[in-house]
Structure 1
Amino acid sequence: MTRTTTTTRRTLLTAATAAALALTLAACGSDAMSGTDHGAAPSASGPGGMQDMPGMSHGPDGMAGMAGSTDGLAAEQGGYRLDGALADSTYRFTVTGPDGKVLTEYQPEQTEEMHFYAIRSDLSGFQHLHPVRGADGAWTASLAALQPGEWRMYASFVPGAGSGKGTGLVLSRTAAVAGQASAVPLPAAAASTGVDGYTVTVAGAPKAGAAGPLTVTVTKDGQPVTDLEPYLETYAHLTAFHAGDQAFAHLHPETPVTPGGGGPTLSFHAELPKPGDWRLFLQFRTGGTLHTAALTLNVAA
């Protein structure tokens, strides 16, 4: 074999290896209210109640970076798989790791190992809680009563073991609640909404797939609110679900927690991947009580 032929084969082999590695990385990913209405979930859930939230990228709020497809609609990603079943209002589930075993190691994300969400297909009935993990790695999420219809259950977590260790993931599955389902119309897009006597106003014009700022202002009786309490290591938590397919998005808070309370204005890093209507759920705490405000935001293409 000539030296030229050997060099050529080595070059082709190197190129093929690089291409295979690129495909593998692409496959693994790299960046990435209870009741029947569209209002907030019960707000009077104080410490220890059904509350709190999931994983994303290590930004100013200290969140871990989310891997691969970030819409939360897949039951399996990067070798991790969600399996669960709904019985009455209890959802029991497991996460299986790349080794085929039930995952029992997690890294806390905003003080919790697991953030769990439930929302009906019409984007009503939002619930956000922290399930309990058994010694065998199985999780139990005790939900408030679910109205009839199709629901989607999301598990947001950071694996503490396996090839995805340290990387935030959001996996989901659907679950049906028996009974006569009656769809709740999605409220029209609006700049403000009210909850528990507070008014929440959102300012910003995000475009699909583009990162941009979103500002939230909290007032009460026309006066600015400045006594927001830390909640999940920040002053507010903002989650969004896309109308139609229920794609999941978390908007990263950028306002740091400082002594003396927060508000009235909070900044978020918004990156919503799809155009159309998104239902936003803002959770904030005052006087030890968690409030959940909801409004519809239209995102331009």
Structure 2
Amino acid sequence: MNATGKFVGFTLGLVAVFAAATGVGALVGPDIDEPAAHAAGDSHGSGGHDAGGHPAAADAAPKGLQSTQDGYTLELASPVATTGAEVPLRFRILDHTGTPVTRYVDQHEKQLHLIAVRRDLTGYQHVHPTLDESGTWSVPLDLAGAGDYRVFADFMPAGGDALTLGTDLRVAGTYDPQPLPPTQPSTTVDGYTVTLAGALEPGQTSTLTLTVSRDGSPVTDLQPYLGAYGHLVALRTTDLGYLHVHPEGHPGDGATPAGPGIDFTVTAPGSGEYRLFLDFQHAGIVHTAEFTVSAPPQEK
């Protein structure tokens, strides 16, 4: 009844957490539009889909910890910024020759997805930069809070595989780190209540269901956002390992309901605390619900 997705592969650096479970859903980094996925051999970087349309086995290797991988490098125009509500960020993706990449494959309706978060897991942003002819990406970020940020670029270069590269951005000013919010079954954002059901068990497959309601009534008319009813980023608190997940179903496919619940099938590779960020769209506005989730140590 719920849109079902799965964590396929994870990336350290913002959160590594989950490996994929066969037959449920989605990827490391943004999912790939089906035509592009087939043209690229159905690769999602660490996962993909088999011939029957089901997710392939996940590659458990962490991603996003490196600024350089497979011959590609994420290079910020400047690794230092000042505080501000709309601070321009400029960067390039360089190939193995040092030449800026200018051709990309769309993944979930965008050529590149940029995730930024401060290292205390505040200030989360999921944005989509613009690319100029020289191969330079640009986007304004809300850097009102000083501190060290982790920036992740999810992309697929034309003729290459999907990648997630990460690097640090230092924002000058007085840093006031915030404690990790406690684990709670529900949270509110912009008048919406989002409830989390399910638990993470290290090394075992678990289902997390995120249910959206407003004024006590279930929201059953979620709107497509980047080709899905929900996008989930998970960040492991100890190292900011990163995973970007989408439901397997597609809006308008005749089988995927538009809420109120969205299911994500996940396998946590280890114990610890994780911060989850769910993007969903309703009434033309994108909202982000945040949760702290703990994966307790396994009993011996």
**TM class by shorter-chain length?**
0.7 to 0.9
- 2:44 maps to 65
Paired position in structure 1 for 2:231 = 237
Deviation at 1:204, TM superposition (A): 1.8
Among candidates 108, 111, 131, match of residue 110 of structure 1: 108
**Which of 265, 269, 276 is matched with 1:269 structurally?**
265
Q: Which residue is equivalent to 2:23?
A: none
Q: State the 1:213 CA deviation.
A: 2.3
Which has the larger displacement, 83-92 or 229-238? 83-92
CA pair 64-239 structure 1, distance change in 2 beyond 3 A: farther
Partner of 2:133: 135
Q: Tell me how far 1:57 sits from its aligned partner.
A: 7.1
Contact 1:113–1:157 under 8 Å retained in 2:
yes
Aligned equivalents of 1:223, 1:177: Cα separation in 2: 41
Tell me the residue number matched to 1:280: 276
- 1:102 shift after superposition: 1.4
Q: 2:158 aligns with which of 146, 157, 160?
A: 160
**Root mean square deviation, CA, Å:** 2.6
Tell me which residue corresponds to 1:76: 68
Instruction: Determine the C-alpha separation between the residues in 1 that align with 2:100 and 2:262.
Output: 39
CA 1:209–1:158 in structure 2 vs 1: closer, same or farther (change >3 Å)?
Answer: farther
Q: Distance in 2 between matches of 1:134 and 1:124?
A: 30
2:206 matches 1:227: no
Deviations 1:260-291 (A, max 9, x none): 97111111232443421111111111110111
- State the alpha-carbon separation in 2 of the partners of residues 280 and 98 from structure 1: 34
Aligned position for 1:295: 291
In structure 2, distance between residues paired with 1:267 and 1:196: 22
Measured after TM superposition, the shift of residue 64 of structure 1 is: 4.9
Provide the rounded CA distance (Å) in 2 between the counterparts of 1:136 and 1:269: 40
1:55 pairs with 2:20: no
Runs of 4+ in 1 over 6 A off after TM superposition: none
Q: Indicate how the Cα distance of structure 1 residues 226 and 211 shifts in structure 2: closer, same or farther if over 3 A, else same.
A: same
Which amino acid letter does the alignment assign opposite residue 139 of structure 1?
W
Distance 1:78 1:250, change over 3 A: same
Determine the C-alpha separation between the residues in 2 that align with 1:141 and 1:124: 19
Task: Tell whether the 8 Å contact from 2:65 to 2:165 is kept in structure 1 after alignment.
Answer: yes
Partner of 1:28: none
Contact 2:81 2:171 in 1 (8 A): no
Aligned-pair CA distance for 1:293: 0.7
Structure 1 unaligned residues grouped into runs of 5+? 1-30, 33-52
Alignment partners' CA distance in 2, 1:117 and 1:298: 22
Structure 1 residues 230 and 207, CA gap change in structure 2 (3 angstroms): same
- Pair 1:254-2:229 in alignment: no
CA–CA distance in structure 2, aligned partners of residues 296 and 145 of structure 1: 22
Which of structures 1 and 2 has the larger relative contact order (alpha carbons within 8 angstroms, sep 6+)? 2
Task: String of CA shifts for 1:1-32, please: whole Å, max 9, x gaps.
Answer: xxxxxxxxxxxxxxxxxxxxxxxxxxxxxx77
The structure with the larger Rg is: 1
Structure 2's unaligned 5+ residue stretches are 1-8, 11-27, 47-58
1:248: how far off? 0.5
Q: CA deviation at 1:214?
A: 1.8
- Where 1:115 maps in the other structure, the secondary structure is strand
**Larger % of helix: which?**
1
Whichever residue aligns with residue 66 of structure 1, its letter is: G
* C-alpha distance in structure 2 between counterparts of 1:207 and 1:57, whole Å: 28
Q: Hey, what's the Cα distance between the residues in 2 that align with 1:95 and 1:154?
A: 12
- 1:206 matched to 2:181: no
Shifted more, 151-160 versus 86-95: the winner is 86-95
Aligned in 2, Cα 1:195/1:138: closer, same or farther, shift over 3 Å? same
